[in-house]
Every structure is written in structure tokens, then in C-alpha cells.
Chain A
Amino acid sequence: MQGLAYFTSASGNTGRFIDRLGLPAFRLGAGADPSVLRARPFVLVCPSYSDGEGRGAVPKPVIRALNDPAIRAQLLGVIGAGNRNFGPLFGHAGRVIAEKCNVPLLYRFELAGTETDLARVRGGLAQFRRA
């Protein structure tokens, strides 16, 4: 069974999504050592912070973790969080990570996600688990 890792900033949208998802998840950037992610495959849930040109989309604690090849090797896929109001850059961090790390962008949701988003991600992760 794969694990789950996420980043959430002080505004807490992604954190609220993870809470409602109700699955155990490792929080990046909260002080805990991310090397535990080397142990088994995981899916990353990551919000986006880019400027209007797409720069700086991926939060630094996520970059630091993914710069460890042993962690990167366990990354199965990424779920991007964001806001469609950012136009073509909606959930840009998810796309950047997928391209950098050669993994699928599994899903995107807005802000703290809706019930529909939660159901799709639960279903998607369960399927992913069986695969």
C-alpha cells in the first residue's frame, strides 16, 4: 500500500483536504525528517504558489524532499491543489513536479477541495493501491 505526503502553508487549504480525506499522511515542511519517505512508495499532494509567469510554484520543503533521489524514487504520482482563477497556471506545482520527476499528475482540486474531489481521490488512491 502506498503512502501519502503533503505540504500545506499557514492558510491550511491542503491540510483541510487531507484531514477530510481521513488517510494517514506525512506533512512536509513541519519539521519532521522527510527521509521516512524513502521507505515505501507514496503519492504527493501539493499546492501551488507560482507568480504570473509560473515561477516559484513548488514550495521549498517539497523541493528539498524531492532533491533526495531515494525519496524521488518512491514518488508514484502527484495531486495538485490550486485555484482555477490562476488560469493556465491552475495547480501549476503539480504539473512541474510531474514533469520533473517523471510521474503522472493524478488529479487536481481547488483550495480545500469539494466532496466530489474527496470521493475521486479516495477512489483513485484505492485503485492505485490494487494496481
Chain B
Amino acid sequence: MSLIQVKNLSFSYDKKRPVLADITLDLDGRSTAIVGQNGAGKTTFVKLLKGLLKPDFGEIHIGKTSVKEATVASLARKVGLVFQNPDEQIFKGTVRDEVMFGALNLGQDKETAETRAREALERVGLGHLSETNPQDLSLSEKKRVSIASVVAMDPEIIIFDEPTIAQDHAGKEQIKHLIRGLQEQNKLVMTIIHDMDFVAECFERTLVFNEGKLLMDGLTRDVFSRQDVLHQAHLEPPSVTQLGKKLGFAETFLTVKELVSGLRNGGNR
């Protein structure tokens, strides 16, 4: 089922140089990664989906709602966006108030908002910090607070912008777990990300942006098998994919487990 429809979308900040040109795609429930160089138009694209920017040309529909006609407030119920820089998002005096803020703004009563905030903080591993001032947290913790704030609003579509920045192994595992949980709740999870190893492990579908254009849209495994496309977008396949190719395998491996079993079984070399 199509959750987001994008048709002939174009956008430019200065009305001269296009940042996005003629993007057409359909997003269904599959978890989707958006990859590409800095400046490829990824963040602009997700801001358009959330209605923070208005297209110059083309249409975006979230379900049956046209983003052009909807207010930012009404879209906030459907689409949650976690910014790359948590300081653009965080402003309350305690972590709990911060995470409750969005939910309260959507009209939830205090009790529900508090429960949602508590659950969301547990999910990102910060349940113990609810009384702390967010400004006293490390960058990795702030990032997880900003993720929890959006999760507490319970939108149907959740978009992350570089969620793994500044995260160590444990933080990444926590985010991986959260993404899988959101998928189980039938939410559409999308993320802009530079970490290809993370994409390989967590996302079914991958969109490759390059210089404002959608260069490729496909299953993550198919995208990472296309060395030519990745090269054009100045990207490298995940480490495990690279190792598999260098060892002469025809298959595209996405996880350590897959490659190890390929090596054990002799595989297709």
C-alpha cells in the first residue's frame, strides 16, 4: 500500500539552482534508507515530505492528503521528522518535558503524554535521565532525546536524519532495536544516513540521491550490488559487501553472518 506518493517533485531555495529535480516515487511500508553525498538534496526532500518546505513543481500526497494543501500542524500527526542536529529541536528544561512537548501539542492529555514520553525514553535507553536538563547531556544522548520526542508523538511515518552520528556501539544497537520495533508497529521508517553498514543491516529499500536527482530506487541488496551507481553517487558499498566482492562472490552480502555462511558453504565464486 502506498503511504507517500511523490510526483514530478522539483524544488529550489533561490529559484535558480534546483536542489531537487523531477523526483517521482511511491513509498510503501518498507523501511527505507536515503543515501547520497552531502548536498545531494536528501534533507530538502524529507523537509518537503513533512511540509516544512513547499514544492516549486509537482505533488506530494501523504495517504490521501496533498501536502500542498495541508497545514504543518495537521501533517505533524502523520509525519515525524528527527533533525540531524538535536539543538535545533531541544529547548525544554527537563528531558521529560522535552519528550512530552510534541505529544501535548497534538492535543493529548497530560497523563497520556507522560506515559508516551516515559515509554519513548525507555525505548532509546534514557529512562533514567527524565529529570535531567537536556542541555547537560552529551551529543549522543541529545540525539536520542530528540528521537524519543518524535516517537512519543506516535506518527505513522517517522523520518530520521543521520540517527547514528556520535553513537557508540551500544547507542547504535539501541537505535537498531527501536527501528525494528517501529516497523513491527507497522510504521514507515525512513532515514537519511551515511553509514552504509547500518543501512545494510536495517533497511529493506534504499533511495540513492545524487545532485538533486533520484539515481536509483530499489531493494537495498540490489542497490549495493550496483557498483556503477554507487560510484556515480560517490558512495561505497558496506564493508561486508566489499569484502564479498573482493573474494570473488557473485552474491551481494549485507551482513557478516551472510558472508560467513557464504564462505563456509563455498558459495558462488
A, B bound: no
